[in-house]
Chains A and B, each alone.
Chain A
């Protein structure tokens, strides 16, 4: 394998780790309360703008941007849960789709109104330049984003499977009435789930902002990436989202390298549709 190909694959894996991180936010909500957040991509977009604002205000990089984005988005998650999700959850399906779709428009065009439609970006060397490992050139920002995203995704998985909070959330997902009888408050657990999901999505946004263009409509593209990842990895599975995210990252990079950058989205969307059509349970799901 040529060096350039290895470089493309490594780049894809690092980007894919960030995809995996924000997709696990989507899959958590989905698995827990069977609601699809159509505004999920716009949560990523907000995380990116938070990183941008932090840089313009304080000249600080992701060291500050990431925790601030996590906190702000987690707060937004709680607000969205109590303000909107809790009441539309029991409503008709049209209301569920409309509700999160409306939220998406609201956030996207609020960003558009406030920041304008221009493509923004953080300075290229905000994390440190580019370096060589065995002849492979890697941007420090991508490396940092990929590694942090992997760690946070892993942490989320441990939180969900190894802690008592995780078990409580799982209990609510399984059967919220039964969980209530065991003394678990479904409402609190679901609000926490929204806070966590939105928080990790904010982290992903602040990370990806260090090397990605920032524009109000970026959430549209990234939201579809999250749908693809979740449908590929199986609905509700964080490890599934991780594998699928890395895979999508590599597929995207390879198709950009082989066929051309404009066609990479076409490849990913076609993949998504073929999965929805032919294998809706995902790669790792049970049929």
Chain B
């Protein structure tokens, strides 16, 4: 029973947050934390659990965002229709790109994913159907509930919370399935895993596709909340970087790592943008950069890892901390 005490308290607090902190700024902040937590948790499946550091996840994010806005601006449908379309397209892209790219290991994989992301951004920027440099917009005035266009951030908060819980549920289910065991084995040593008969390529590809589909949902939600998407906000490399940083700050390969990372970095970014104004845009990312460097230098397992270690020493349920293998040649 006591095992469930703290998780239930935490969940109750998360549910009550927008009622306790009810100014528009606080509610928006809460919704954004959850939104980024969804994206970072999706990234975590392939970046944390499978140990394949993708810097190209913004492609899937963009797929979702463009599908949602495209459903509205080209077909006058609810942006919700774009969610399944975005998922299908993302999973298809992940399958096509993943087969050759996942063969690369370590740094090479990261570089290839950067190139894919930049390539997609350049192509979209030059495609008129996708709004070229200007992007696509959603409904300015909601026609009905299904347009999911609200002024208050409160509905978004609970929508995002439901999807985050689903995402974490899928991740948890995956880690405890056969696939999760394969992934951990591959992350620690791909060669050893292969020699013991784990289907490494297939497992990595499945993880990549799963992660891509969930990331595209985050992208669609983002576009719905902000009401538009353009190449910078939907396909800029910084979005990939944010997913990566949030997951790594909290703890890559830990279930709640991305949520913790998002809960630290999103308020930091919003507050520093608010305090510093336009001039703060640069400084915010300087701070981001500094945080990543410090994390990589001093606590590469993320801030949750030492806490988890302390926790498991007290006899609580242990979780496997990240232990990514050293780099290999391709």
Contact = CB atoms under 8 A, between A and B. Distances in A.
Interface of A: 34-36, 38, 83-84, 87-88, 91-99, 101-110, 112-114, 216, 220, 224, 227-228, 231, 262-263, 265-266, 269-270, 272-273, 276-278, 280-281
Given A93-B53, A113-B279, A105 B289 contact: yes
Contacts of A113: 279, 282-283, 286
A276 B293 contact: no
- Max count, chain B CB within 10 A of own CB: residue among A83, A91, A102, A265: A102
Given A93-B51, A109-B289, A273-B119, A98 B325 contact: no
Contact of A102 (B116, B119, B292): B292
A272 B244 contact: no
Interface of B: 47, 51, 53, 55, 100-101, 103-104, 106-108, 110-112, 114-116, 118-119, 122-123, 126, 237, 241, 244-245, 248, 252, 279, 281-286, 288-297, 300-301, 322-327, 329-330
B289 A98 contact: no
B107 A97 contact: yes
Given A34-B327, A102-B293, A109-B283, A94 B248 contact: yes
6 contacts: A94-B248, A96-B296, A102-B291, A224-B115, A269-B119, A273-B115
B108 A276 contact: yes
Nearest to A230: B111
B289 A106 contact: yes
A55 B51 CA distance: 46
A266 to B, nearest CB: 5
- Name the residue among B245, B252, B285, B288 with the largest chain A CB count within 10 angstroms: B285
Contact of A92 (B107, B123, B293, B322): B322
Contacts of A227: 111, 114-115
B298 to A, nearest CB: 8
B252 A94 contact: yes
A105 B247 CA distance: 17
Among B55, B123, B301, B324, max chain A CB count under 10 A is at B324
For chain B, what secondary structure do more than half of its interface residues adopt (helix, strand, loop), or is it mixed?
helix
A266 B122 contact: yes
A93 B327 contact: yes
A105 B119 contact: no
B111 A109 contact: no
A227 B47 CA distance: 21
B115 A272 contact: yes
A99 B296 contact: yes
Given A94-B252, A272-B115, A36 B107 contact: yes
Contact of B111 (A36, A84, A266): A36
**Residue among B106, B297, B326 having the largest count of chain A Cβ atoms under 10 Å:** B297
A103 B241 CA distance: 12
Question: Which of the listed residues B296, B297, B329 has the most CB atoms from chain A within 10 Å of its own CB?
Answer: B296
A276 B288 contact: no
Given A98-B296, A263-B126, 13 more contacts: A34-B329, A84-B296, A96-B296, A97-B55, A102-B292, A109-B282, A114-B282, A265-B118, A269-B118, A269-B119, A273-B112, A273-B116, A276-B115
Given A102-B289, A224-B114, A266 B123 contact: yes
Given A36-B107, A277-B101, A92 B326 contact: yes
Nearest to B301: A92
A55 to B, nearest CB: 22
A262 B125 CA distance: 10
Contacts of B123: 266
